Amino acid sequence: MSSTSSRSGAVAVIGRPNVGKSTLVNALVGAKISITSNRPQTTRHRLLGIATFPRGQLQLVDTPGIHGEQGKRSGKAMNRMMNRAARGALEGVDVALLVIEAGRWDNEDGLAYDALHDAGLPVVLVVNQVDKQKDKTALLPFITKVTEGRDFAAVHPLSALKRSGLEQLVATLMDLVPEAEPMYGEDEITDKSQRFLAGELVREQLMRRLGEELPYSTTVEVEKFEEEPSPKTGVMYRIDAVIWVEREGQKAIVIGKGGERLRDIGKHARQQMERLFGAKVFLQTWVRVREGWSDDEAALRALGYHD
Ligand SMILES: Nc1nc2c(ncn2[C@@H]2O[C@H](COP(=O)(O)OP(=O)(O)OP(=O)(O)O)[C@@H](O)[C@H]2O)c(=O)[nH]1
C-alpha cells in the first residue's frame, strides 16, 4: 500500500547485549550517533536516533540491552538503571524491533518477545548478522523455528554492519507507523547534544582500547564544551573530558605506559568527533579517581545517567 501523506513514529530497538542494536540505529540514521564495540553492554544511555526518509520519519529508541541476572554486576545500581531505561523505552512507542543474532535464539529473546507482544506492540523481528552465517541454507529453518507460534508483524534478515536489507526494513516500518508529520527537522539525527556525543565517543575508545581490562564502572564526563569561530572551518570545538575510574590502579591502566594509551584514546576520539561535527576539535583528557560510584545511584544521576 502506498500513500502520499507523511508517516512518523517511534520505534523501540530491543535485544540482548551485543546483537548489533547500535550498529543498526547508526546505519538507519546514516551517521554514527550511538557507540559500538564488541563488548556487551556498550550502550548505557537511552538515545534517540532520528532517521528521515522520503516517506516519513522514524524516531529510533536505542535501548541499553535488556539482560538477565547473569551479569557480574547485575545487582548493582548501574544494571538496575540500565534495565529500567530499557523498559521505559516502551512508552509512546509505535513499533518494536526485536533484534537477534542469526542462528541464535535463547530464553532471553523469548522473554523480550513476550514483553513486547503483551504491551500490544507490533513486533518486527530483525535477524541481524546474516553476513556471519556461513551456511545460508540454515537461515530459513532457523526463522521458521523462531516464528512458530509467535505473531511477528514482519521478519527481516539483514546485516546492519554491511548495510544490506535495510531498505526493506524501512519500508515495513513506514507501513507500521502512523500517518503524521515528522517530529524533528530532516537534518536532525539525534536528540542528544554534541556535548553528550563527545563523551560517548571517548567512552567508545576506552572500551575498544582496554577491552576486558576496562572496569565496567568507568565513565566519562565532559567538563568543558566550547564552540569558537574558526577562519578555516567556520567553527571549532574545545573539549575537556574526564575519565572517572574507581581506583588508582585502574587509572594507571587507562593512562598506559608513558601515557601512550590515553594519548591513543584521545587521538581516535578526536578524529571521530571531527567527523561527526564536521569541524576541528581540540580535545584534552584526564583520568580521575572516584571511589565506589557505580553502586551509588545519586552519583550516577550526577554523571548523567537517568531512568
Ligand atoms: N558481522 C556483523 N557484525 C555486526 C553486525 N551488526 C553489529 N555487529 C557487531 O557486533 C558488535 C556489537 O554491536 P553493537 O551495535 O554495539 O551491539 P548492541 O546490541 O548495541 O550492544 P549493547 O550496547 O551491548 O546493547 C560490534 O562489534 C558490531 O560491529 C552485523 O550485521 N554483522
pLDDT tens-digit map of 219-278: 899 999 999 988 877 889 999 999 999 888 889 999 999 999 999 999 999 998 988 887
In the predicted model, residues of the chain with pLDDT beneath 50 are 1-3, 65-75, 307
Q: Answer yes or no: is the C-beta of 136 below 6 A from any ligand 1 atom.
A: no
Q: Answer yes or no: is the C-beta of 43 below 6 A from any ligand 1 atom.
A: yes
Strands (E) in the chain, as ranges, are 7-15, 47-53, 56-62, 95-101, 123-128, 154-157, 219-230, 234-245, 280-289
ipTM above 0.95, yes or no: yes
Mean pLDDT of the chain: 83
Q: In order of start, what are the domains of the chain with their CATH numbers?
A: 7-176 (3.40.50.300), 194-302 (3.30.300.20)
Ligand 1 centroid distance, CA of 60 (Å): 16
CA distance 76 to 305: 14
Task: Note the pLDDT of residue 72.
Answer: 40
CA distance 47 to 60: 8
Q: Answer yes or no: is the C-beta of 42 below 6 A from any ligand 1 atom.
A: yes
The cell numbers describing 158, all together, are 539483514
Residue nearest ligand 1's atom 7 by CA? 20
Ligand 1 centroid distance, CA of 59 (Å): 20
- Collapse the DSSP code of 71 into the 3-class scheme (helix H, G, I; strand E, B; otherwise coil) and give the result: coil
Question: By C-alpha distance, which of 148, 143, 150, 283 is closest to 225?
Answer: 283
CA distance 138 to 173: 26
Residue 20 among known ligand-binding residues: yes
Residue nearest ligand 1's atom 10 by CA? 20
Instruction: State which ligand 1 atom lies nearest to the alpha carbon of 25.
Output: 15
Task: Note the pLDDT of residue 175.
Answer: 97
Instruction: State which ligand 1 atom lies nearest to the alpha carbon of 162.
Output: 31
Ligand 1 centroid distance, CA of 22 (Å): 7
Instruction: State which ligand 1 atom lies nearest to the alpha carbon of 35.
Output: 16
Task: Note the pLDDT of residue 34.
Answer: 63
Task: Note the pLDDT of residue 68.
Answer: 43
Task: Note the pLDDT of residue 45.
Answer: 53
Task: Note the pLDDT of residue 219.
Answer: 87
Ligand 1 centroid distance, CA of 37 (Å): 7
pTM: 0.70
Residue 229 among known ligand-binding residues: no
